[in-house]
């Protein structure tokens, strides 16, 4: 594995060692020979695309830190729950991949599997759902010491462009598990476009509140939901394609194309700032024999505006479902969809509160040409 010399003036990755015989003078920085990533980044760090990096522990971009990952960079994560990248409030990440040279963060295992490593988590200061009259914050599922949420819907956590996240979703228990990309209260100042998340455990992407927009997202064989929303997200997902390929199966009890909640776990139905978001140009495909729980589940106070939704193939328990024991989806939701060959065992539409839901044969779904850079064959 290729290595490089990193001359560090500070301690961005916790790699600098001090002399035990310190005489009070300022030591010269020691040359560090390493391609290993873990610890805290508190300064401005740029990786070298000619180096293949190994993620050996949790990598935290703390307040004031900046992690820049140039086009073509590859990071391979060792197996384990604590192998993840977390951008904290006030930290920033800049993934500057291109169509020809995407950035890839993957498993270091010789025979990789879903759930080998954690994933990428970004924490911002945008709004999340919560009680009226207070500034709501929450704690990160996989690291309760780290908070997210606030009042700045324009918060900027950086840029993600042309990024592959694969074999993500490591878990420590059924209730504490990673997604591929977790967006916690991320603000609209953050740019996220051209993301590919194949072969991950739990959800491919989950929005926990915030106002960030995501464009050109492709998901392949997520173990649980392809697209997950909760805790007050108010952004737009534009041009997304999710597929379960032939031979797919799941370890989860209720995997869905999209699971869309207004408040966290449906436990605070009186919250303000509940999810009110836009999905447009979306395709959900099931090429397997596995039964999808729902293509789209809108529940727990969420208001969804969904246009140009194409659902293709396979079997689904229900197709569009706005019911839930902890609260139905918001009755002002609007959904325009096309069922292209899905066998529905239950009801095609479950809509007890008369939201506006219409079938439209002219729907085409996502523009798949936007995903040619992934190499996926449609």
pLDDT over 50 (residue 233): yes
Helix (H, G, I), strand (E, B) or coil at 175: coil
Q: What is the pLDDT of residues 135-194, one digit of tens each?
A: 999 999 999 999 999 999 999 999 999 999 999 999 887 778 899 999 999 999 999 999
Rg (CA), the chain: 21
| 10 domain residue, yes or no | no
| 6 domain residue, yes or no | no
pLDDT over 70 (residue 32): no
List 311's β-bridge partners, or say none.
284, 339
C-beta of residue 366 within 8 angstroms of C-beta of residue 219: no
pLDDT over 90 (residue 11): no
pLDDT over 60 (residue 25): no
| 107 domain residue, yes or no | yes
C-beta of residue 117 within 8 angstroms of C-beta of residue 78: yes
Q: What is the pLDDT of residues 63-72, one digit of tens each?
A: 999 999 999 9
Helix (H, G, I), strand (E, B) or coil at 374: helix
| 204 domain residue, yes or no | yes
Residue % of the chain over a pLDDT of 90: 89
The whole-number pLDDT of residue 172 equals: 84
Burial call 34-67: b when 16+ CB within 10 Å, e when fewer: bbbbbbbbbbebebebebebbbbbbbbbbeebbb
Full DSSP string of 176-214 = SB--SEEEES--TTSEEEEEEEES-SS-SEEEES---EE
Number of domains in the chain: 1
Distance of alpha carbon 303 from alpha carbon 271, whole angstroms: 13
The whole-number pLDDT of residue 34 equals: 79
Average pLDDT over residues 41-60: 97
**Whole-number mean pLDDT of the chain?**
92
Q: What is the pLDDT of residues 113-143, one digit of tens each?
A: 999 999 999 999 999 999 999 999 999 999 9
Provide the residue range defining the domain that includes 330.
Answer: 38-374
The whole-number pLDDT of residue 17 equals: 32
pLDDT over 60 (residue 7): no
pLDDT over 60 (residue 363): yes
| 26 domain residue, yes or no | no
| 264 domain residue, yes or no | yes
**Tokens 């391609």 label which residue?**
35
Both structure tokens of 259: 């699971």
Distance of alpha carbon 7 from alpha carbon 297, whole angstroms: 51
The whole-number pLDDT of residue 173 equals: 77
Q: What is the pLDDT of residues 318-342, one digit of tens each?
A: 999 999 999 999 999 999 999 999 9
Give me the sign of the Cα torsion angle 145, 149, 151, 157.
Answer: positive
Distance of alpha carbon 274 from alpha carbon 271, whole angstroms: 6
Distance of alpha carbon 54 from alpha carbon 233, whole angstroms: 33
Reduced 3-state DSSP string for 10-71: CCCCCCCCCCCCCCCCCCCCCEEECCEEEEEECCEEECCCCCEEEEEEEEEECCCCEEEEEC
**Confidence class for position 343, pLDDT limits 50, 70, 90:** very high
């Amino acid at each position: 594995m290729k290595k490089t010399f990193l001359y560090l003036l500070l301690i961005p990755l916790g790699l600098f060692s001090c002399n035990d015989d310190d005489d009070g003078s300022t030591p010269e920085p020691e040359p560090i020979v390493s391609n290993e990533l873990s610890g805290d980044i508190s300064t401005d760090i740029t990786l070298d695309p000619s180096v293949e990096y190994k993620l050996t522990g949790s990598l935290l971009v703390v307040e004031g830190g900046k992690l820049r990952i140039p086009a073509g960079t590859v990071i391979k994560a060792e197996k384990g729950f604590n192998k993840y990248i977390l951008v904290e409030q006030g930290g920033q990440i800049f993934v500057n991949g291109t169509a020809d040279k995407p950035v890839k963060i993957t498993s270091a295992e010789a025979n990789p599997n879903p759930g080998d490593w954690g994933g990428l988590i970004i924490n911002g200061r945008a709004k999340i759902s919560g009680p009226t009259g207070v500034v709501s914050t929450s704690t990160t599922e996989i690291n309760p010491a780290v908070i997210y949420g606030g009042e700045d819907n324009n918060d900027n956590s950086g840029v993600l462009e042309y990024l592959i996240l694969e074999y993500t979703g490591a878990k420590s228990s059924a209730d504490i598990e990673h997604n591929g990309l977790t967006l916690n209260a991320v603000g609209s100042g953050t740019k996220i476009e051209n993301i590919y998340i194949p072969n991950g455990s739990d959800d491919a992407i989950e929005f926990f509140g915030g106002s960030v927009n995501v464009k050109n997202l492709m998901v392949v064989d997520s173990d649980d939901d392809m697209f997950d929303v909760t805790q007050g997200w108010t952004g737009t997902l534009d041009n997304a394609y999710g597929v379960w390929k032939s031979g797919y199966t799941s370890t989860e009890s209720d995997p869905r194309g999209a699971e869309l909640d207004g408040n966290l776990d449906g436990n605070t139905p009186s919250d303000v700032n509940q999810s009110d978001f836009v999905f447009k140009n979306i395709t959900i495909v099931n090429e397997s024999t596995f039964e999808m729980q729902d293509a789209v589940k809108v529940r727990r106070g969420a208001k969804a505006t969904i246009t140009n939704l194409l659902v293709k193939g396979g079997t689904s328990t229900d197709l569009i479902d706005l019911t839930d024991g902890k609260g139905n989806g918001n009755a002002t939701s609007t959904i325009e969809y096309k069922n292209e060959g899905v066998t529905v065992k239950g009801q095609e539409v479950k809509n007890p509160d008369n939201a506006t839901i219409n079938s439209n044969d002219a729907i085409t779904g996502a523009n798949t040409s936007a995903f040619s850079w992934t190499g996926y064959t449609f």
